[in-house]
């Protein structure tokens, strides 16, 4: 499994079909069924069905149904009840989900 940059839905679909991690840059994609995604550079990810998203760089994530999100920096997260959000930074733009703060040790 390797990380591959994608810039549209077609590239995303090909990437996850090869069981790779899609690094979504500056576009909107829909991720379903066991996808692993990194959202970067003003991208939007709509995800459901056992997916994992790492969110950076002013990205937006809309998640439903058993999705896990690691939030570093993004503009907005909207999540249903079954979504776990691990926050590495604080944000007022998270709606819903089960929000967990990372414990920082010194």
- Report DSSP state, residue 102: P
* Location of structure tokens 């760089």: 57
Inform me whether the pLDDT recorded for 92 exceeds 70. no
Q: What are phi and psi of 89, to 5 degrees?
A: -140, 160
Span 40-60, average pLDDT: 88
Residue 106 has pLDDT above 90, yes or no: no
Task: Domain ranges for the chain, please list them.
Answer: 3-100
Q: What is the DSSP letter of 10?
A: H
The top-scoring range by mean pLDDT among 16-20, 68-72, 83-87 is 16-20
* Residue 58 per-residue DSSP state: T
């Amino acid at each position: 499994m390797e990380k591959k940059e994608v810039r549209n839905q077609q590239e995303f679909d090909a990437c996850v079909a090869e069981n790779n991690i899609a690094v979504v840059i500056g576009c909107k994609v829909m991720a379903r069924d066991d996808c692993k995604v990194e959202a970067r550079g003003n991208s939007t990810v709509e995800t459901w069905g056992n997916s994992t998203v790492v969110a950076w760089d002013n990205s937006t994530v809309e998640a439903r149904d058993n999705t896990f999100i690691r939030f570093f920096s993004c503009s907005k997260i909207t999540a249903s009840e079954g979504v776990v959000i691990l926050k590495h930074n604080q944000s007022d733009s998270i709606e819903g989900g089960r929000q967990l703060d990372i414990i920082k040790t010194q």
